Amino acid sequence: MPAETGAKRDIRALDLESLRAFFLAHDQQSFRADQVYQWLWQKGAHSFEVMTNLSKATRELLDAYFVINHIAVDRQQRSTDQTVKNAIRLHDGLTVESVLIPTETRSTACVSSQVGCSLDCTFCATSQLKRMRNLNPDEIYDQVMALDSQSRLYFDRPLSNIVFMGMGEPLMNYKNVMSAVDKITEGLAMSPKRITISTSGIPKMIEKLADENPKFQLAVSLHSAQEKVRNEIMPFSTSFDLETLLKSLQYWYHKTRSKVTFEYLIWKGINDTQEAIDALVAYAKKVPSKVNIIEYNPTDSGDFQAADQQVIERYKQALERAKITVTVRRSRGKDIDAACGQLANKLVPLDDKN
């Protein structure tokens, strides 16, 4: 029996063909796999017992060989602006974060792709957590389903958008993220155009992504178009200079005809000068793009301070004069641990952060 040969496997690690092969090997009709697959990826089943169109014997067979390692919301914070932040406990006890961001008309899910992060962006609370592992497709999918349930419960509507802007670098968990997007679009019947993958900027992986001509959106955390400044706030970028990044983004547009979104935080004394504004305008003009200026949500370190509103307005006006689409996203969840990584940081023992 499986219990004698080792731990049971998570059934969601099997693709549909492997599941069909399993049923045939156990003298069951292969269409049972399609039924199970629907329970797992469209209905978000947490146990085999709820799969009521399967016989009891079939459910017992599945239970003998497999488990469903579902996530759990370990802790939740709700902001006065209705933002909901979740600390998600995984089956192995590790923690990631997901956030539900509502507006009057939309509900956006912000999900994580890794436990911790291997990059070293100095302004990000997640960088204080070492990368422990990649998330599996089902763990990413579960975050989305949990946030969809919360949106329906708190705001009486399903999710409208999904952004991979939580913990981790999505393009460093490429295969699992791509698989998760497929499962999410299938399970929620959501258009890929409503999904955005946000990367810190890894040219080789951006080009690989472009070759697959995906239908989802691409966003790049830029934060400075001045090489020296970007290297200081995002030290990993010394391996990927701005020119190399730009060429990969031009390749992305050539292959997909989809504009890039530049995400841009503005801090006092770092990128709040006219030179910084001019550099961003010049850079954004070199590839079809739009700029999303994000009001900084401080981490616990206090080393970075949000720029004055006058500076944000100067950025906005300069971009508009250059005919570059620009939006300003106000900070959400200021009264909770809203910056990515803050809540998980508080749930991880200090000894595990080294």
Q: Catalytic residue at 232? A: no
Q: What is the DSSP string of 68-125?
A: ----EEEEEEE-TT--EEEEEEPTTS-EEEEEEEE-SS-EEEE--SEES-SS--TT-G
Q: How confident is the model at residue 300 (pLDDT cuts 50, 70, 90)?
A: low
Q: How confident is the model at residue 345 (pLDDT cuts 50, 70, 90)?
A: very low
Q: How many CA atoms lie within 13 A of 12 on its CB side?
A: 27
For the record, the structure tokens of 129 come out as 């957590």
Other beta carbons less than 10 A from residue 42's beta carbon = 13
Residues forming a β-bridge with 199: 220
Mean pLDDT of 270-277: 96
pLDDT surpasses 80 at 162? yes
Query: Residues 108, 143: contact at Cβ < 8 Å?
Result: no
Q: Catalytic residue at 97? A: yes
Integer Rg of the chain from CA: 22
Q: How far, in Å, CA of 192 to CA of 190, rounded?
A: 6
Q: How far, in Å, CA of 283 to CA of 100, rounded?
A: 32
Regarding pTM above 0.85, the answer is yes
* Residue (of 162, 240, 163) closest to 206 by Cα position: 240
For residue 267, what is the DSSP state?
A: B
pLDDT surpasses 80 at 6? no
Other beta carbons less than 10 A from residue 280's beta carbon = 27
Architecture of the domain delimited by 2-67: Orthogonal Bundle (1.10)
pLDDT surpasses 90 at 332? no
Q: How far, in Å, CA of 31 to CA of 36, rounded?
A: 9
Q: Which residues contact 351 (CB under 8 A, 6 or more apart)?
A: none
Domain 72-353 grouped into CATH 3.20.20.70: yes
Mean pLDDT of 169-185: 95
Task: Please pick, among 97, 139, 169, 263, the residue that the annotation labels catalytic.
Answer: 97
Domain-by-domain residue ranges, the chain? 2-67, 72-353
Coil/strand/helix, residue 39: helix
Coil/strand/helix, residue 50: coil
pLDDT surpasses 90 at 146? yes
Angle at 272 between CA 245 and CA 204, to 5 degrees: 10
Quote the pLDDT of residue 279.
98
**Element at 282 (helix H, strand E):** helix 274-284
Burial of 143 (C-beta count, 10 Å sphere; 0-12/13-18/19+): buried
2-67 matches 72-353 in fold: no
Q: What is the pLDDT of residues 45-61, one digit of tens each?
A: 999 999 999 999 999 99
Q: How confident is the model at residue 303 (pLDDT cuts 50, 70, 90)?
A: confident
Task: Please pick, among 110, 117, 121, 340, the residue that the annotation labels catalytic.
Answer: 340
Q: How far, in Å, CA of 145 to CA of 110, rounded?
A: 12
